[in-house]
Amino acid sequence: MDRIGVLPRSVRGVLVLVLLYLFLTGIGLLEAGIKGLGSDVQERLFEQVANPLSGLFVGVLATVLVQSSSVTTSTIVGLVGAGLISVESAVPMVMGANIGTSVTNTLASVGSIRRPEEFRRAVAAATVHDFFNVLAVAVLLPLELATGVLARVGTAITDVLVGQAGTAFKSPVKEAVKAPVEAIEGLFGAGFGTGTAQGIVLIVLGLGLIFVGLTFITTTMKSLVADQLEESLNRVLQAGGGVVALGVGLVMTVAVQSSSITTSVMVPIAAAGILSLTNVYPVTLGANLGTTVTALIASLATNRPEALTVALVHTLFNAAGITIFYPLRPMRAIPLRLAEGLATICGSNRSLLAGYIFGAFVVLPLAVIAILS
Amino acid sequence: MVLEVFRQSDRLQKVSDQITRMLNESRHVFDEAMSALLAGADPAALDDDIHGTDRRINALEQEIRRELVIHTSVRGTADITAVLILLMVGRKIERMGDNAKNIYDIAAQGIDLAEAPDHAELAGYRDEVSQAITRAGEVFNSGDVEAARTFAERMVQLQREFDQHVDTLIVSDAPSTHGVPRALLYRYLKRIVANLEGMASAVANPFDLIDYTPEGDEQGET
């Protein structure tokens, strides 16, 4: 942030646009690469996530590895845009990405490990995000598998916006990134020929551009809006949480394109006792909703309406989760109490947090994926 | 020099403004306390104002702490030195407010020096320290190293003078009703002035030498 922060604001503004273009080009390359894979390879890849639970934990693990749900969900949107996976298979993965992203702010709570009371507050503020995501998945994934309600609503909105699934709509963004995608395709086509080898190279390049693009968009945007972020957090402090806090979490996350930034910033503030867990919670929910914008942007770089549907399902899933676990006090109390409970346990034995992070975000997903495959 | 960093951030500039507000409030408490002690003002009539102002100083310091925790959480450690300096300065001003309140407590005990033989000298110190409180804010906000050094030198000189007065009172044969209020007053004045010197040293000295004189000795008790 420091090096980018010294650039003039106008330069940083242009840099964000360039990085956004690179990010969208990455989605285009991913799509082109997957299309280049042989149908047998595509089928084998698809089998890995055909089971909803596998898909869910692949989403968790992938997000833990890249430390960004935006990267994972954008990649999933790209995979759907390429026709590799269906909307039904993508939905659990997107939900898994939501859970996986909460590992970042849980790691941030380790910073307070030397001061027991501060640590307890930090863990509670961090893991309320985890518990909300797990609870939302626990309620909405079975409902989705039974009824397909989120996918149906997402499809209905897509139909209104761009046309019916199965048809191709001409995305202007896709057209805008067509030239670099075709140029890179031609470049690597000459070196690797066509087919699977070229496809793999394009996928790697695409994933690289998505990751690098989003990482630097986040860093640059954070340097651009740092003062506004501080102002917003002070506003949350004055408002004492509630809808204002939810809105601040949403806006902050849309601005920096990373829910992890928003939720991780909250951890030291809560650890210091400046914001209570009750006030941190709505900011976290807003961040969850705000992060879905990235996948919506990514869906613009594909021509398949299904990609937009998946991005919309991501938004709908988070909106539904908030509707269930925020407005009513007894429901709101569930993630809060669970987070406080875990924080109390970790406060009495601080090494347990390492066990929780490693067990819940690495061992469990790997075990479930291994068993189901 | 170390303060240059925070001028790049609007939020830290806001904290800097809050520091100025704290100084203004501290000067107000000091002026009221000294008027009760030296100008015959009724201490009881000033009680609410002095304690109310002290509460505002405390609230401002707490506000500054919150702002700085939020700032560091958002920005990371890029301007950690400026943040630490602002925290230290906030603490110093809060202590100045407490010391001024301690001076008021002397007057509240029934001590009135309006007609005392050393009134002119005490009134001179009152005026200089009162103006120095505002001047410290100007020096701190300007970041002018030379001005800070000049200011700090005068504050060191004042502390020596206050120490000399206390030393004289310790061996004086004067009754305790003469010596004790003055010894306490000079002690509190010295603490206020030492904190003002500390503010200037935050501008003139490297971070690790803030609150230390150029010879490396720690400042008077603050």
For residue B73, the domain's CATH number is 1.20.58.220
Mean pLDDT of A259-284: 92
Distances in whole angstroms, Cα of residue A9 to Cα of each of A17, A134, A359: 13, 39, 43
Nearest-by-Cβ selection for B67 from A2, A234, A268: A234
A268 CA: distance to closest CA in chain B (Å): 6
What is the residue extent of each domain of chain A? 2-372
The pLDDT score that the predictor gives to residue B130 is 98
Distances in whole angstroms, Cα of residue A87 to Cα of each of A42, A156, A169, A173, A184: 16, 13, 17, 21, 28
What are the backbone angles phi and psi of residue A195, rounded to the nearest 5°? Answer: 90, -155
**Integer Cα distance of B112 and B99 in angstroms:** 18
- What band does A241 get if pLDDT is binned at 50, 70 and 90? confident
The pLDDT score that the predictor gives to residue B5 is 44
Judge contact between A317 and A151, C-beta under 8 A.
no
Range with lowest mean pLDDT among A106-110, A327-331, B201-205: A106-110
Query: Given an 8 Å threshold on Cβ–Cβ distance, is B67 in contact with A231?
Result: no
Does A47 have pLDDT greater than 80?
A: no
pLDDT digits (tens, 9 = 90+) for B7-60: 456 777 888 899 999 999 999 999 999 999 999 899 999 999 999 999 999 999
B64 CA: distance to closest CA in chain A (Å): 11
- Is residue B181 assigned to a domain? yes
Residues of A in contact with B76 (CB under 8 A): 1
Query: Given an 8 Å threshold on Cβ–Cβ distance, is B69 in contact with A233?
Result: no
Angle between helices A277-290 and A196-239 (to 10 degrees): 140
Percent with pLDDT over 90 in chain A = 45
**Integer Cα distance of B123 and B120 in angstroms:** 5
The pLDDT score that the predictor gives to residue B1 is 42
Q: What share of chain A is helix, strand, coil (3-state, %, to 5)?
A: 85, 0, 15
The pLDDT score that the predictor gives to residue B2 is 44
- In this structure, the dihedral spanned by the alpha carbons of residues A139, A141, A147 and A152, taken in order and rounded to 10 degrees, is 110
Q: Which residue has the higher pLDDT, A249 or A169?
A: A249
**Integer Cα distance of A204 and B10 in angstroms:** 41
**Integer Cα distance of B53 and B97 in angstroms:** 9
Mean pLDDT of A40-44: 67
pLDDT digits (tens, 9 = 90+) for A273-315: 989 999 999 999 999 999 999 999 988 888 889 999 999 999 9
Query: Given an 8 Å threshold on Cβ–Cβ distance, is B70 in contact with A5?
Result: no
Q: Which residue has the higher pLDDT, A268 or B79?
A: A268
Distances in whole angstroms, Cα of residue B38 to Cα of each of A231, A299, B51, B175: 44, 76, 19, 19
pLDDT digits (tens, 9 = 90+) for B59-99: 999 999 999 999 998 888 878 899 999 999 999 999 999 99
Residues of B in contact with A2 (CB under 8 A): 78
The pLDDT score that the predictor gives to residue A323 is 97
The pLDDT score that the predictor gives to residue A361 is 92
Does A324 have pLDDT greater than 90?
A: yes
Nearest-by-Cβ selection for B71 from A222, A230, A267: A230
Does A84 have pLDDT greater than 90?
A: no
- Is residue B220 assigned to a domain? no
What are the backbone angles phi and psi of residue B212, rounded to the nearest 5°? Answer: -115, 145
Residue B13's closest chain A neighbor by CA? A227
**Integer Cα distance of B132 and B34 in angstroms:** 15
The pLDDT score that the predictor gives to residue B148 is 95
Query: Given an 8 Å threshold on Cβ–Cβ distance, is A234 in contact with B70?
Result: yes
With an 8 Å Cβ cutoff, the interface of chain B facing chain A consists of: 9-11, 66-67, 69-76, 78
- Is residue B105 assigned to a domain? yes
- What band does A42 get if pLDDT is binned at 50, 70 and 90? low
Annotate B137-188 with DSSP letters as a single string.
HHHHHHT-HHHHHHHHHHHHHHHHHHHHHHHHHHT--S-HHHHHHHHHHHHH
Mean pLDDT of all residues belonging to chain A: 87
Does B6 have pLDDT greater than 50?
A: no
**Integer Cα distance of B84 and A225 in angstroms:** 23
Output the six-digit token pair for A246: 């939810």
Residues of B in contact with A274 (CB under 8 A): 66, 69-70
Query: Given an 8 Å threshold on Cβ–Cβ distance, is B67 in contact with A266?
Result: no
Distances in whole angstroms, Cα of residue A163 to Cα of each of A77, A166, A301, A306, A319: 17, 9, 16, 10, 23
pLDDT digits (tens, 9 = 90+) for A100-128: 999 988 988 988 888 889 999 999 999 99
Residues of B in contact with A222 (CB under 8 A): 74
pLDDT digits (tens, 9 = 90+) for A214-234: 888 888 888 888 888 888 888
- Is residue B129 assigned to a domain? yes
Q: How many separate domains does chain B show?
A: 1
A237–chain B Cβ distance below 8 A for any pair: yes
- Is residue B201 assigned to a domain? yes
For residue A224, the surrounding DSSP H or E stretch is helix A196-239
Q: Which residue has the higher pLDDT, A165 or A206?
A: A206
The pLDDT score that the predictor gives to residue B44 is 95
Is the pTM here over 0.90, yes or no? no
List the single best residue of A219, A224, A230 to mutate versus B (max B Cβ within 10 A). Answer: A230
Nearest-by-Cβ selection for A2 from B67, B72, B78: B78
pLDDT digits (tens, 9 = 90+) for A155-184: 999 998 876 655 666 777 778 888 888 888
Does B222 have pLDDT greater than 50?
A: no
Does B207 have pLDDT greater than 50?
A: yes
The pLDDT score that the predictor gives to residue B217 is 62
The pLDDT score that the predictor gives to residue B220 is 54
pLDDT digits (tens, 9 = 90+) for B112-166: 999 999 999 999 999 999 999 999 999 999 989 999 999 999 999 999 999 999 9
Output the six-digit token pair for B48: 């609410």
The pLDDT score that the predictor gives to residue A190 is 62
Does B216 have pLDDT greater than 60?
A: no
The pLDDT score that the predictor gives to residue A373 is 75
Question: Domain of B19?
Answer: 9-209
